[in-house]
Structure 1
Amino acid sequence: MKTFFEELKNRRVYRVALAYAVAGSAVVQVAGTVLPIFHARDWVQQVFVALIAFGFPLALVLAWCFELEGGTIKRTCGDSRAVASSRRVWILGGVGLLVSAFALAGYWFWHPWKTSPEVVGPGGSPGPEKSIAVLPFENLSDDKQNAYFADGVQDEILTNLAQVADLKVISRTSVMQYKSGVARNLREIAQQLGVAHVVEGSVQRSGNRVHVNTQLIDAKTDMQLWGESYDRDLADVFAIENELAEQIVSQLKSKLSPQEKAAIEQKPTADLVAHDLYIRAKTLIATAVFSTPQAESLFEAVRLLSQAIERDH
């Protein structure tokens, strides 16, 4: 077994697995941004994600059987140890398939897609009363490079709300087209997304302090139903995100089970630096396809994710 893992390292299977995961995530992020523009159905993106997920074991097998040497592709699994090598290929493919299946199942259960309603066109009827879209938050920090942090706060609030089965939540990929910094007609956005309520806000990060301002808007009347401002230590950012989500659930009079409450209050990590590295990498992946050069952005994302894993191990 030790020899098997050594061969995985020598054949660079680990590197291929990480690169495939990063590249696949980038493609999914871009597809999630582009497909809604063409009014594609949710199932189109879901099939897209499934195809990428089940391409993972194939990538592992190809990495095992072939290597790039001197600009040419060389086959490595047809040597004198063909029987043992063939057996290991099947093991590797099976493990990759299991990883893909578990990842896909987890994504289906916990990703906001599971609560996303059908998107309706402008002028359509309002969505269900307990439906909501969390729009991208505005970055008010002096350092404009902290925009990724504002995106991270919005993403965590959206993910927390998506834990509540009684609440319909639009996916992050569908709302990212409504970036802050430009004039937004909330009533039109709500009609396009098929929701009755909209959350918008701003984030300002300065040193070890963070200021978060959030409003819950009734899209039908364009009236603010609730608003809150938080000015706390950066270490309390997870608590802020949790409190905001629970306040919104309460304002919409949605049912919150003990299990859902526990899921919302669970911290993604105990290491703030690791979380910061993670959301920076996630932002790089989301914008990699539109950046030049792309490879540098993806390699930087891999480097940041590796650092986050090392800190949070």
Structure 2
Amino acid sequence: MAAEVKKEIELEIAHVLFIDIVGYSKLLINEQRRLLEVLNQIVKGTDQFRTAEANGRLLTIPTGDGMALVFYNTPEAPVECALEIGRADKAHPELSLRMGVHSGPISGVVDVNGRANVAGAGINIAQRVMDCGDAGPATFFSPNMSPKTSSNTVTGDRTCMISANAK
């Protein structure tokens, strides 16, 4: 059944976790498939994923070498999910991930396959935040910081802080 999206643009705030397997395109197809299966198992095993999915407050978007998880509940959900994924990923040294989180405006769209998808700054910036990170801990977005990279001394997480107006 094809997804339906209203003709008029309706914006809402969503909380997005973008996940990417580092070096995916350089892998053999069998290894790509295996690592995607491992990533899918890890993600589906997180409390945040299961809770949001059970409540109908999650949109999952495959990206080929990872996924975007669009949470419609709380801004903490993608952050907690990223932390859960990071903890579970430690048991899989062959799986190197980058993750980015951002909350921002999105609008529902229908993709070329007739499936529900989203467009807008919320998902675009989450991907850019992910792209500025290295493999390892999640990368988070803070709209009130100037562009810089720092480390969280409490958790050791690498944090990319960019301004909403950064170019």
Q: TM-score, normalised by structure 2?
A: 0.35
Q: Name which one, 1 or 2, has greater alpha-carbon Rg.
A: 1
Q: TM-score, normalised by structure 1?
A: 0.22
Q: Which structure ranks higher in relative contact order (CA pairs < 8 Å, sequence separation ≥ 6)?
A: 2
Point out the structure with the larger strand share: 2
Point out the structure with the larger helix share: 1
